[in-house]
Structure 1
Amino acid sequence: MKGDWVEIVIDAGDATRTYEITASRAGRRVEITNRRGVVEVSEVTRTGTPVRTARFMASRVLALVEHPVEDGASPSATVHNLPGSA
Structure 2
Amino acid sequence: MEIVVDAGDTTRTYEVVAGRAGRRVETAVRRGVVEVSEVTRNGTVVRTARFMANRVLALVEQPVPREDGSEKADRIGRPLGEVPES
- TM bucket, shorter chain: 0.7 to 0.9
Structure with greater contact order relative to length (CA < 8 Å, sep ≥ 6): 2
Structure 2: distance between partners of 1:15 and 1:26 = 34
Give the unaligned 5+ runs of structure 1.
Answer: 1-5, 72-86
Matches within 5 A, 1:1-86: 6-69=1-64
What TM-score, normalized to structure 1?
Answer: 0.73
Kindly report the root-mean-square deviation, in angstroms, between the aligned alpha carbons of the 2 structures: 1.1
Q: Higher strand proportion, which one?
A: 1
The alignment covers a number of residue pairs equal to 66
Question: Runs (4+) of structure 1 moved beyond 4 Å?
Answer: none
Give the unaligned 5+ runs of structure 2.
Answer: 67-86
Identity, % of aligned pairs? Answer: 77
What TM-score, normalized to structure 2?
Answer: 0.73
